[in-house]
């Protein structure tokens, strides 16, 4: 990675970190924290779905695992929340690797892979809803004990910085993936798996590595969700809503790009909040916006928002170049 | 322990629930067989049809079975329009895109229903909702017996349409070889839209059969559509007899799992079958080799 790769990420991270000094309203901070948690999970999805081209419809399986592992360890076994964070990421990676091993070894791709991930997430949801260790249908409450060791802070801004640090870390991670040999192999598998294999890429190994990384990152976001809202149940942690959220953000923002998931999550939730402000108390109005934006994005902006911006920039450059040519012609 | 009679009754009840699953899966498998897409909006469209049945009953006092008659053409037109003017143009013919467009559609439909009808659960009652038919020592629910019969008839009709009419021939031609069909003058987008319409028409029948004994709320479709995916995968994507048999089988499995494991764990049997079939034999029991 070069300085040119790092500077935009660093500048944005610093700007975002300064935000709590300007914004003090707690609904806005809540919105930012929640959106960043979604963005983090979406970054996880993007590693597998964006760079690897394997569209998962069941990332809730990893999100929920992260949330439950940290909550159960902390509440039932008194494990320190920071250690729980690491263990949650490890658990997410393990679950993801196992699901990936089963499905990729059977050669599932495209729609079939989407369906099998969806089914795995549902199995987890039903199990979490029925077993005692997860608190069953009543869910799990994390005790409110404000202390940095418990990942609970008196000031919301601290939690915001924590989530922001993770998002920035994963931005760097994805930038590294993009520049690395592993990333190149992953993209090769996405573009044409048979050709990649013919060139000696061990496609199973590459895909497994991607899904494990993806699962770990998404589990982290689940863990942060549990620690921020202090309550989870099977429908929150393993529900299809989160699978959809995590896939929408990268697709809207720009699939397979470093900033796409973050841009997408901010745009979607920004639009959702706007719709709520305008439409008032209509239930589901933000989701109506999400769905419409998804259809519109697929129809008119295939690279998402970032793709659209790039195209505009190229067109702008084209215009400038053409303009310069005409000027030079006229000058002759 | 359970007496054999209870188990037999549970199995038969499952068989009849399975008939409705089969109807829903029939639409899904038809669309998959021809367009090679997984229609994520199928559940939301079913919810729309169920609300239509409920409205016709609540506002106009119409019998749910009677509503099926006008609802079938209505849902056909809706499906035709959606594929022709939304899904087709928006997805640029790319499979991954179609998945996303239908997902977006389902989110929109589901939440528009939520905005209009709120999240309340609604039921309707008819004179025959709780009637039973005696079959020897077994007591069977009358609406479910009707459901089973109609599902078999609809599968037969659909098979006739596909195999004995020119439209059916065109549909099969497009399913086999899109480019070739186009070359001999078949209007491919039109056939796609007709297929999608037929798939939705199946949902109209399923909705009419479900409502006398079931309830409707804006999120109900997603529960059915996951089961329908299982049925379609089990029966082989694109296979009509596969969908019928798969639906009946899944209905029985669900009912027996519910009996032995309790309601909350009952559904897990379905998903484990689903995953197992996908991992071991993704072409399903009746599907052609992919």
Name the residue among B239, B235, B260 with its Cα closest to residue B250. Answer: B235
Long-range Cβ contacts of A141-145 (<8 Å, 24+ apart): A141/A75, A141/A230, A141/A231, A142/A71, A142/A74, A142/A75, A142/A226, A142/A227, A142/A230, A142/A231, A143/A75, A143/A230, A144/A230
Describe chain A by its helix, strand, coil percentages, rounded to 5.
80, 0, 15
Q: Is residue B287 a part of any domain in this protein?
A: no
Q: Are B238 and B289 in contact (CB under 8 A)?
A: no
**Region of poorest pLDDT, from A164-178, A275-289, B202-216:** A275-289
pLDDT at B287: 59
Provide the number of structural domains found in chain B: 1
Best CA proximity match to A55, nearest among A64, A47, A66, A63: A47
Q: Please enumerate in sequence order all residues whose Cβ is within 8 A of that of B285, keeping only pairs 6 or more positions apart, or say none.
A: B234, B235, B236, B242, B245, B246, B277
User: Shortest CA distance to B29 belongs to which of B260, B241, B264?
Assistant: B241
CATH code, domain carrying A238: 1.10.3470
| Average confidence (pLDDT) over B269-287 | 79
> A18, A17, A66, A268: which is closest to A167 by C-alpha?
A17
DSSP character string of B221-268: HHHHHHHHHHHHHHH-TT-HHHHHHHHHHHHHHHHHHHHHH-HHHHTH
The verdict on residue A113 lying in a domain is yes
Q: Is the pLDDT of residue B285 over 80?
A: no
Number of structural domains in chain A: 1
The predicted model gives B58-76 an average pLDDT of: 93
Q: Do B101 and A287 touch (CB under 8 A)?
A: no
Rounded Cα distance between B189 and B169, Å, is: 15
pLDDT at A178: 93
For residue A278, the model assigns a pLDDT of 85
Q: What is the pLDDT of residue B168?
A: 92
> Which has the closest alpha carbon to B240: B152, B164, B170?
B152
Q: Closest Cα of chain A to B260: distance in Å? A: 14
Q: Is residue B286 part of a domain?
A: no
- The verdict on residue B85 lying in a domain is yes
DSSP category for residue B289: P
In a domain, A311, yes or no: no
Contacts of A137 in chain B (CB under 8 A): 264
**Cα gap B279→B275, rounded to integer Å:** 6
Domain of residue A40: give its range.
3-261
- ipTM score for this prediction: 0.86
Per-residue pLDDT for B198 more than 90? yes
Does residue A261 contact residue A59 with C-beta atoms inside 8 Å?
no
Minimum mean pLDDT range among A25-39, A66-80, A126-140: A126-140
Which range, A88-92, A273-277, B166-170, B274-278, has the best average confidence (pLDDT)? A88-92
pLDDT in tens, B170-188: 999 998 888 899 999 999 9
Does a structural domain hold residue B288? no
Average pLDDT across chain B, whole number? 87
Q: What is the predicted pLDDT for the residue at B286? A: 65
Tell me if B170 is assigned to some domain: yes
Under a CB-based contact definition with an 8 Å cutoff, are residues B206 and B20 in contact? yes
Note down the domain range covering B125.
Answer: 4-280
Assess whether pLDDT exceeds 90 at residue A163.
yes
* Tokens, residue A322: 């053409």
First-residue to last-residue Cα distance in chain A: 45
In a domain, A134, yes or no: yes
Q: Which of A104-113, A173-182, A255-264, B150-159 has the lowest mean pLDDT?
A: A104-113
pLDDT at B290 over 50: no
Q: What is the rounded average pLDDT of the residues B123-143?
A: 80
User: Which chain B residues in 29-58 lie under 8 Å from chain A, judged by CB atoms?
Assistant: 37-38
- Does the pLDDT of residue A332 top 60, yes or no? no
Whole-prediction pTM: 0.89
The 8-class DSSP code of residue B87 comes to I
Q: Does any domain span residue A239?
A: yes
Q: How far is CA B69 from the centre of its chain?
A: 17
Contact B90 A240 (CB under 8 A): no
**Overall average pLDDT of the A213-242 stretch:** 94
Q: What is the pLDDT of residue B279?
A: 86
- Cα atoms in the 13 Å half-sphere on the side-chain side of B205: 28
Q: Residue A231 forms beta bridges with which residues? A: A141
What average pLDDT does this structure show over B15-37? 88
Tokens standing for residue B21: 């699953």
Mean pLDDT of A90-115: 92
Chain A residues within 8 angstroms (CB to CB) of chain B: 55, 102-103, 106, 108, 110-112, 114-116, 118-120, 122-123, 126-127, 129-130, 137, 240, 244, 251, 282-285, 287-288, 290-295, 298-299, 302
For A299, which of B90, B226, B271 is closest by C-beta distance? B90
d(CA A191, CA A162): 35
Chain B residue numbers with beta carbons less than 8 Å from the beta carbon of A191 are: none
Q: What's the mean pLDDT in B262-274?
A: 79
Closest CA to B46 of B13, B83, B75, B7: B75
Q: Which residues of A278-288 are buried (b: 16+ CB within 10 A; e: fewer)?
A: eeeebebbbbb
How many Å apart are CA B284 and CA B290, to the nearest integer?
Answer: 10
Average pLDDT value for chain A: 90
- Residue A294 covered by a domain: no
Contact A327, A321 (CB under 8 A): no
> Is A204 part of any domain?
yes
Return d(Cα B73, Cα B234) in angstroms, integer. Answer: 29
Q: For position B250, which CATH number holds?
A: 1.10.3470
- For residue A226, pLDDT beyond 70: yes
pLDDT of residue B289: 43
Residues of A within 8 A of B118 (CB-CB) are 283
Measured CA to CA, the distance from residue A252 to residue A293 in angstroms comes to: 8
């Amino acid at each position: 990675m070069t300085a040119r790769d790092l500077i935009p990420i660093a500048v944005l991270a610093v700007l975002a970190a300064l935000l709590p000094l300007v914004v003090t309203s707690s609904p806005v901070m809540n919105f930012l924290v929640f959106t960043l948690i979604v963005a983090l999970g979406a970054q996880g999805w993007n590693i597998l779905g964006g760079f690897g081209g394997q569209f998962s419809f069941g990332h809730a399986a990893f999100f929920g695992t992260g949330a439950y592992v940290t909550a159960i360890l902390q509440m039932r076994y008194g494990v320190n929340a920071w250690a729980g964070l690491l263990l949650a990421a490890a658990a997410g990676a393990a679950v993801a690797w196992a699901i990936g091993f089963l499905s990729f070894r059977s050669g599932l791709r495209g729609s079939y892979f989407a369906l099998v991930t969806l089914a795995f997430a549902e199995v987890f949801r039903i199990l979490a809803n029925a077993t005692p260790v997860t608190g069953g249908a009543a869910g799990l409450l994390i005790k409110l004990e404000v202390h940095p060791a418990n990942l609970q802070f008196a000031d919301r801004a601290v939690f915001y910085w924590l989530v922001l640090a993770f998002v920035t870390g994963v931005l760097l991670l994805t930038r590294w993936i993009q520049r690395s040999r592993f990333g190149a192999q992953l993209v090769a598998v996405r573009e044409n798996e048979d050709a990649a294999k013919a060139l000696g890429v061990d496609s199973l190994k590459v895909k497994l590595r991607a899904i494990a990384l993806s699962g770990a990152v998404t589990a982290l976001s689940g863990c942060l969700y549990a620690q921020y809202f202090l309550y989870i149940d099977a429908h929150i942690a393993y529900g299809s809503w989160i699978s959809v959220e995590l896939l929408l953000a990268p697709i809207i923002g720009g699939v397979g790009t470093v900033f796409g998931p973050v841009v997408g999550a901010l745009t979607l939730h920004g639009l959702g909040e706007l719709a709520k402000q305008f439409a008032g108390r209509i239930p589901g109005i933000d989701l109506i916006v999400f769905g419409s934006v998804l259809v519109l994005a697929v129809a008119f902006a295939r690279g998402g928002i970032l793709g659209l911006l790039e195209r505009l920039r190229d067109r702008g450059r084209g215009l400038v170049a053409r303009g310069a040519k005409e000027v030079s012609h006229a000058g002759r | 322990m359970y007496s054999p009679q209870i188990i037999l009754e549970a199995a038969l009840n499952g068989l009849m629930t399975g008939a409705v699953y089969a109807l829903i899966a029939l639409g899904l498998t038809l669309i998959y067989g021809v367009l090679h897409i997984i229609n994520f909006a199928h559940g939301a469209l079913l919810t729309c049809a169920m609300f239509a049945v409920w409205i016709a009953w609540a506002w106009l006092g119409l019998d749910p079975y009677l509503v099926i008659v006008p609802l079938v053409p209505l849902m056909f037109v809706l499906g035709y329009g959606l594929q022709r003017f939304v899904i087709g143009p928006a997805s640029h013919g790319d499979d991954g895109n179609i998945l996303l467009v239908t997902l977006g559609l389902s989110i929109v439909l589901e939440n528009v229903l939520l905005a209009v009808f709120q999240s309340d659960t609604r039921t309707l009652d008819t004179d025959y909702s709780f009637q039973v038919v005696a079959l020897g020592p077994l007591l069977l629910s009358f609406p479910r017996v009707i459901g089973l019969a109609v599902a078999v008839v609809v599968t037969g009709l659909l098979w006739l349409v596909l195999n004995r009419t020119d439209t059916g021939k065109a549909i099969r031609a497009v399913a086999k070889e899109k480019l070739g069909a186009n070359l001999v003058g078949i209007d491919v987008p039109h056939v796609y839209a007709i297929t999608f319409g037929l798939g939705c028409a199946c949902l109209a029948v399923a909705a009419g059969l479900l409502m006398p004994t079931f309830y409707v709320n804006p999120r109900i479709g997603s529960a059915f559509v996951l089961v329908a995916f299982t049925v379609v995968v089990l029966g082989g994507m694109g296979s009509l007899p596969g969908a019928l048999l798969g639906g009946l089988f899944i209905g029985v499995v669900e009912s027996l799992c519910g009996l032995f494991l309790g309601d909350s764990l009952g559904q897990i049997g379905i998903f484990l079958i689903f995953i197992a079939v996908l991992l071991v034999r993704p072409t399903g029991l009746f599907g052609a080799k992919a």
